[in-house]
Amino acid sequence: MIDLNLPNKLTLLRIFLVPLLLVFLISPSMLSCFFAAVIFSLAAVTDWLDGHLARVTNQVTLLGKLLDPVADKLLVIAALVPLVELDRVAAWIVVVIIGREFAVSGLRMIASAQGIHISSGASGKYKMVAEIVAILFLILDFNIVFHYIGQIGIIIAMILSVISAVDYFLQFWNKLDSSGTGELF
């Protein structure tokens, strides 16, 4: 049976906010971008809140562990791709960030199949914060200050994406080596 506790409901809310975000984000008007920023901010708050509530109330579930990273990826990708089309972020930066997401997700699946748990490190949390801040400024990119903050922020987020990916891969290889097998399959 699926446990739809409050943290899991917040994660599902984040997923359901993605299409609404896209509706407002694909319009270049200032008002639409403002609504997109509000929706994105609300979704970002649910990212922090669902994890916090799950830990504090001891309601961590398998569903939450599976859905939370999916919801995070959907939110970030759904925001970044239209921002490329709106010419607010370079496509190559978005490819690096999205590529990291796929690489780390694939690694976590392989690790899980091997019985290895790879926990989120501080670099992954910093990456997510940098992405949220950068994306907000890129959504609201209607003046030179917001433009530069968004551009610098997304470069920082991309660098942190690469650093956190390296951290995940190092954790995996270290745990694989310590297991004594040294083999993936």
Half-sphere CA count of 169, side-chain side, radius 13 A: 12
Averaged pLDDT, 114-126? 85
- Alpha-carbon distance of 80 to 112, in angstroms, equals 28
| Ordered structural domains, the chain, with CATH | 1-86 (1.20.120.1760), 88-185 (no CATH)
Answer with the residue of higher pLDDT: 64 or 167: 167
Averaged pLDDT, 94-114? 93
What per-residue string of b and e applies to 33-44 under the rule 16 or more CB within 10 Å gives b?
bebbbebbeebb
Residue with tokens 């994890």: 51
Averaged pLDDT, 21-41? 94
Evaluate whether 38 touches 14 at the Cβ level (below 8 Å).
no
Look up residue 117 and give its DSSP letter.
Answer: -
Evaluate whether 110 touches 118 at the Cβ level (below 8 Å).
no
Answer with the residue of higher pLDDT: 97 or 181: 97
Q: What is the pLDDT of residue 164?
A: 95
Q: What is the pLDDT of residue 175?
A: 87
Q: What is the pLDDT of residue 103?
A: 95
Evaluate whether 123 touches 9 at the Cβ level (below 8 Å).
no
Q: What is the pLDDT of residue 176?
A: 81
Residues contacting 47, CB < 8 A, separation 6+: 14, 68, 71, 72, 75, 128, 132
